[in-house]
Structure 1
């Protein structure tokens, strides 16, 4: 469809999301990028209740990715209410989100990337329901957490980022599972700001998608104006999508990651870098994750603009 060359490098993605304004921005990018094939959208509660995020996901999919199925988690608490997860609205795929993930991964072994930009509940439920599914996933890329680079530890609390804070048990499970995990946390998303001027240039020069990104970002801009970013919005979820196709624009650090699951810092992500040789049994038994610790923010923004303009 996009010419012979891209067929070899297509990233086949299930986008696990809680839309969400920055989620919407990340979805538009994925729908427009020639190296990305969206195979499904799964919604999770987070930015709003599940009915709202699922309705948002359906709207975004119908507007920008009309052939992509949407499935959602059913139930209001994180890893609870497992029994009720089968009841799904008819307008959607008919699968619960985690079941959709398990089935799609099993049908496409080694090919599916999970791009998760909300709470990690759906991924943890998929691991619970489909033991062995981790070995069949190509890679998991997460927007979540923070590792203290430039002093950034959290936004939901002084110690925690919202996605890991919202379901820390799920995050600890996902980061410890035997699949490849890459994490774009606040350390890089706070470096990448879509300014008002940048968004206005998209509005005026990137067609329908650019106007949509401008319109949807107006709400977010007001929210962030009280948050020390007067001139734009953080590119939280988009940063993880950019990592998928342009990981050379990010500096990363390898090592196992733990998530604190209780206490006042529940949701805090802590990596033991591979360069640290101290014995640390709570980390040492777990697989390495790649944590983003630096970003070429200007290039990441150029990638977004160029993708929408094409």
Structure 2
């Protein structure tokens, strides 16, 4: 079993990735920590509570950072994720906690306490800005040696010509808190970056989404409903009749790492200038000295994947969940 803390800024693709985790038999979800990003912290926390209450009411939610370490929080993205952050699906009028539990601790403290309660067992699956992880490291640097693994949906490294999605140089999660990202990538824990290089080549087509709707019961209907605004955005902005599989790719990398090709080497994040948020890896195969990289731990970057197998894994997981 993979014991997971899901650090997220729900988010349409975040919601789809949460469902993937809840239905996968090898994942034990220990907690959900919210962070700003796709919407304000108020909305991402509400969405995390709603999703937990709907799909995993036994899983606690902890509210996280409202803004980056050193920058201004980005504005919401209604044209991508809808006005409520989860594709404008209808949320119950009486919000409360939707039957989920709001943990009284801030997200970074929840991470510290949970990792220390399960040393060597917890995977941090982070699919938003890395502010909560950076705050946890700042308060308790020792957790880096106790975490089993960190998997991040973030970054872009120019593989297949893919460079960024919020600027010509940067991916959104890294761009939204580049200082936190650079600190997290410097920590001595085993870390894998699942970036745009693979997520933008993993595409759920309109036909694929419709097949989930028609074949996977309530879960399939939820995926269809929550992805309507997201699909329209992809169609209007890129002419793509489908959606990129960002956050669910990080889940796939956790449970089926054999589907991904990795490149190892230290990674830096630019924290100023016109390319702020850019992720640059120095591969271990590069012999040239580079002081800014050479004193940092090697991390893994996904550079290729079996994209069809990733899509089948998502589908099969939801199908198996219905049968169960």
TM range (shorter): over 0.9
User: What corresponds to 2:311 in structure 1?
Assistant: 301
SS in 1 for 2:32: strand
User: What corresponds to 1:46 in structure 2?
Assistant: 37
Q: CA deviation at 1:80?
A: 5.9
User: Which stretches of structure 1, 4 residues or longer, exceed 3 Å deviation after superposition?
Assistant: none
Q: Counterparts in 2 of 1:1-310, with a 5 A limit?
A: 10-74=1-65, 76-79=66-69, 92-310=102-320
Aligned partners of 2:70 and 2:179 also within 8 Å: no
| Distance (Å, rounded) in 1 between the aligned partners of 2:250 and 2:240 | 23
Cα offsets for 1:125-147 (capped at 9, x unmatched) = 00001121110100000000001
Aligned partners of 2:126 and 2:150 also within 8 Å: yes
Task: Please provide the CA RMSD for this pair.
Answer: 1.3
| Distance (Å, rounded) in 1 between the aligned partners of 2:113 and 2:47 | 23
| Distance (Å, rounded) in 2 between the aligned partners of 1:228 and 1:296 | 23
The number of equivalent residue pairs is: 293
| Distance (Å, rounded) in 2 between the aligned partners of 1:52 and 1:141 | 24
TM-score by length of 2: 0.89
| Distance (Å, rounded) in 1 between the aligned partners of 2:105 and 2:239 | 39
Q: CA deviation at 1:230?
A: 2.3
The answer for unaligned runs of 5 or more in structure 2 is 72-95
Q: CA deviation at 1:224?
A: 1.1
User: What corresponds to 2:87 in structure 1?
Assistant: none
| Distance (Å, rounded) in 2 between the aligned partners of 1:58 and 1:206 | 23
| Distance (Å, rounded) in 1 between the aligned partners of 2:55 and 2:252 | 18
TM-score by length of 1: 0.93
SS in 1 for 2:102: coil
Q: CA deviation at 1:226?
A: 2.1
Cα offsets for 1:100-143 (capped at 9, x unmatched) = 00000011100000000000000000000112111010000000
SS in 1 for 2:169: coil
SS in 1 for 2:240: coil
